[in-house]
């Protein structure tokens, strides 16, 4: 242990930054660091993603990201590799899914620890960005310490540790990642004050928002709280929409009216809640405190029930046809992105296909055939052939469909955009 070591850090110390996990968060983060003229080594287990990035291209859809990646790769600031290399700071942005029983699965974080441990050097900073259950940053630090007994970690050596460890949860909205990365405030929870200080210096290389310091556990819980808050509020909107349907009230009109009250701000109902964050993170709270987190669990259950409610609606409307053609518009988990993770729209389409209630056509303007788990049709085809049109995702291209083309169809608009 190096109890006497004094590590002074300033912005300029971060000449080389490694980002582990080049997905929806890691790649934009790597690209933004690189755009600030930092040497960035992106690490991923997916060879295709690495080859794509090293060609200056991207493997995900996110506005403007292609330009930043192309520029930073061409200028030599960003490169992608399978094997971690030494760096001043390591930012871990790997997935944190849950297992079947909603228990968080930290296997990707553990693999990332194993991967970077051999190249860690005294004075390095390791930041966990992945949304994580409370205690994950401490666990990460324990895993690193196991791999590198020659180095000291904050749980052993506090402010004098050789390696600094912090949690800094990402909070960007898919579709607006590049601007939110720079503009949003960041919550930074170091395992010691020195860890926090160093992490603030790292993020200040590109964050224009405030970097607010707390401890690692509070930072972990803060991220989970934000997404649970949104989930609970969407559950309220979804529950309202089902109540309104049974009372023959237009839920969207109702919400518009109620939102005219100065202290009411109801979110929008939809076919359910998807994505890798809001549909997942509240379970991280529930799994730690199952007896206490009753509302958070119920909100999850309300939102998870919504796809089945939509399916029941479609089935009821399809009954009057002998062999209905049901056209489903949208597969992604929300508008104007290509992300299919935990998508309620995709779940609905898959279940409809299994149910044999007619011919199911699916269309998504942001999803390419190779990426789609279900066969895709063109929008023109769906609009021409379908008896029932189900709007599942409010992509711009769907919102602006000429109402004339819909007038002879049965419409099930789960997003309330064809009022
Ligand atoms: N949704 C509704 N009604 C609404 C809003 C959303 O049904 O009024 C649905 C969407 O269609 C989608 C799901 O909720 O299926 C989630 O979408 P979202 O836009 O609410 O959130 P995400 O998952 O794209 O991003 C969230 C954001 N968190 C919050 O707004 C508190 C983002 O800031 C986080 O960084 C991100 O989770 C994350 O990575 O955790």
Q: What is the spatial distance between Cα 44 and Cα 111, in angstroms, rounded to a whole number?
A: 11
- SS3 labels along 149-192: CCCCCHHHHHHHCCCEEEECCCCCCCCCHHHHHHHCCEEEEECC
Say if residue 8's pLDDT is above 80: no
Q: What share of the chain is helix, strand, coil (3-state, %, to 5)?
A: 45, 15, 45
- CB contact burial 259-289 (16+ within 10 A = b; e otherwise): eeeeeeebbbbbbbbbbbbbbbbbbbbbbbe
Q: How confident is residue 175, by pLDDT bands cut at 50, 70 and 90?
A: confident
Ligand 1 lined by 276 (C-beta under 6 Å): no
pLDDT at 176: 94
Ligand 1 lined by 172 (C-beta under 6 Å): yes
Say if residue 229's pLDDT is above 70: yes
Q: Kindly state whether residues 59 and 189 are assigned to the same domain.
A: yes
| pLDDT tens per residue across span 71-110 | 999 999 999 999 999 999 999 999 999 998 899 999 999 9
**For ligand 1, atom 25: residue with the closest CA:** 173
Asked, for residue 329, whether it belongs to a domain, the answer is yes
Asked, for residue 94, whether it belongs to a domain, the answer is yes
pLDDT at 10: 44
| pLDDT tens per residue across span 123-142 | 999 999 999 999 999 999 99
Task: Give the structural domain span for 18.
Answer: 5-209
pLDDT at 329: 98
Q: Kindly state whether residues 187 and 333 are assigned to the same domain.
A: no
pLDDT at 32: 98
Ligand 1 lined by 80 (C-beta under 6 Å): no
Asked, for residue 219, whether it belongs to a domain, the answer is no
Distances, alpha carbon 153 to alpha carbons 91, 93, 162, 197, 217, in Å: 16, 20, 6, 16, 17
Q: Kindly state whether residues 25 and 148 are assigned to the same domain.
A: yes
* Nearest CA among 396, 380, 382, 372 for reference residue 328: 382
Asked, for residue 33, whether it belongs to a domain, the answer is yes
Asked, for residue 353, whether it belongs to a domain, the answer is yes
pLDDT at 290: 97
Residues identified as active-site: 223, 277
Asked, for residue 61, whether it belongs to a domain, the answer is yes
The number of domains in the chain is 2
332 in Cβ contact with 343 (< 8 Å): yes
Distance between Cα 356 and ligand 1 center (Å): 32
Q: Where is pLDDT greater, at 221 or 174? A: 221
pTM: 0.92
Distance between Cα 215 and ligand 1 center (Å): 25
Token readout for 46 is 């997916």
- For the chain, how far is it from start to end, CA to CA, in angstroms? 66
Q: Kindly state whether residues 86 and 113 are assigned to the same domain.
A: yes
Region 46-63: mean pLDDT is 95
CATH of the domain at 61: 3.40.50.720
Region 339-354: mean pLDDT is 96
Instruction: Tell me which of 25, 94, 228, 273 to substitute to probe ligand 1's pocket, judged by most ligand atoms within 8 Å of the beta carbon.
Output: 273
pLDDT at 100: 85
The answer to which of 36-45, 171-180, 203-212, 381-390 has the lowest mean pLDDT is: 171-180
Q: Kindly state whether residues 21 and 100 are assigned to the same domain.
A: yes
**For ligand 1, atom 37: residue with the closest CA:** 277
Region 162-185: mean pLDDT is 96
Ligand 1 lined by 324 (C-beta under 6 Å): no
Q: Kindly state whether residues 153 and 236 are assigned to the same domain.
A: no
Among 209, 242, 274, residue at a domain's last position: 209
Region 156-162: mean pLDDT is 97
pLDDT at 13: 76
255 in Cβ contact with 266 (< 8 Å): yes
Q: Kindly state whether residues 32 and 149 are assigned to the same domain.
A: yes
Instruction: Tell me which of 175, 229, 234, 339 to substitute to probe ligand 1's pocket, judged by most ligand atoms within 8 Å of the beta carbon.
Output: 234
Q: Kindly state whether residues 141 and 235 are assigned to the same domain.
A: no
Q: How confident is residue 5, by pLDDT bands cut at 50, 70 and 90?
A: very low
Distance between Cα 392 and ligand 1 center (Å): 16
What's phi and psi for 413, nearest 5 deg? -105, 100
What's phi and psi for 178, nearest 5 deg? -65, -40
Asked, for residue 217, whether it belongs to a domain, the answer is no
Q: Kindly state whether residues 352 and 239 are assigned to the same domain.
A: yes
Q: Kindly state whether residues 279 and 167 are assigned to the same domain.
A: no
Among 160, 183, 209, residue at a domain's last position: 209
Q: How confident is residue 43, by pLDDT bands cut at 50, 70 and 90?
A: very high
Beta bridge partners of 411: 389
Q: Kindly state whether residues 10 and 148 are assigned to the same domain.
A: yes
**For ligand 1, atom 7: residue with the closest CA:** 270
Among 209, 244, 266, residue at a domain's last position: 209
Q: Kindly state whether residues 344 and 282 are assigned to the same domain.
A: yes
Asked, for residue 34, whether it belongs to a domain, the answer is yes
pLDDT at 9: 44
């Amino acid at each position: 242990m190096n109890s006497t070591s004094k590590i002074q850090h300033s912005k300029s110390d971060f000449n080389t930054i490694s980002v582990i996990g080049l997905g929806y968060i890691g790649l934009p983060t790597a690209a933004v660091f690189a755009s600030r003229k930092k040497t960035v080594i992106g690490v991923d287990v997916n060879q295709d993603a690495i080859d794509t990035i090293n060609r200056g291209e991207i493997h995900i859809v996110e506005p403007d990201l292609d330009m930043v990646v192309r520029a930073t790769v061409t200028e030599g600031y960003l490169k992608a590799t399978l094997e971690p290399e030494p760096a001043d700071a390591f930012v871990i942005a790997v997935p944190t899914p849950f297992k079947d029983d909603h228990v968080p699965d930290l296997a990707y974080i553990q693999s990332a620890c194993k991967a970077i441990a051999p190249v860690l050097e005294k004075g390095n900073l390791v930041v966990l960005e992945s949304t994580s259950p409370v205690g994950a940053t401490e666990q990460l630090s324990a895993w690193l310490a196991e791999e590198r007994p020659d180095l000291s970690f904050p749980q052993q050596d506090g402010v004098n540790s050789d390696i600094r460890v912090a949690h800094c949860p990402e909070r960007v909205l898919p579709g607006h990642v590049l601007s939110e990365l720079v503009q949003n405030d960041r919550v930074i929870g170091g395992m010691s004050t020195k860890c926090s200080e160093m992490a603030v210096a790292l993020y200040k290389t590109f964050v224009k928002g405030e970097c607010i310091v707390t401890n690692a556990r509070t930072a972990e819980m803060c991220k989970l709280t934000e997404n649970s808050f949104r989930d609970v509020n969407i559950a309220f909107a979804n529950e309202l929409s089902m109540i309104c349907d049974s009372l023959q009230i237009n839920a969207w009109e109702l919400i518009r009216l109620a939102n005219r009250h100065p202290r009411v701000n109801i979110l929008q109902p939809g076919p359910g809640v998807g994505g890798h964050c809001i549909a997942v993170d509240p379970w991280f709270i529930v799994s730690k405190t199952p007896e206490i987190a009753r509302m958070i669990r119920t909100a999850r259950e309300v939102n998870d029930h919504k796809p089945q409610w939509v399916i029941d609606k479609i089935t009821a409307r399809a009954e009057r046809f002998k062999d209905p053609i049901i056209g489903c518009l949208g597969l992604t988990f929300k508008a104007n992105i290509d992300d299919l993770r935990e998508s309620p729209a995709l779940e609905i389409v898959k279940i409809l296909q299994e149910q044999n209630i007619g011919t199911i056509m699916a269309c998504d303007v942001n999803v390419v055939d190779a990426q789609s788990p279900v066969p895709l049709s063109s929008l023109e085809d769906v609009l021409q052939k379908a008896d029932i049109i189900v709007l599942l995702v409010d992509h711009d291209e769907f919102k602006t469909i000429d109402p004339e083309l819909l007038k002879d169809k049965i419409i099930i608009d789960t997003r309330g955009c064809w009022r």
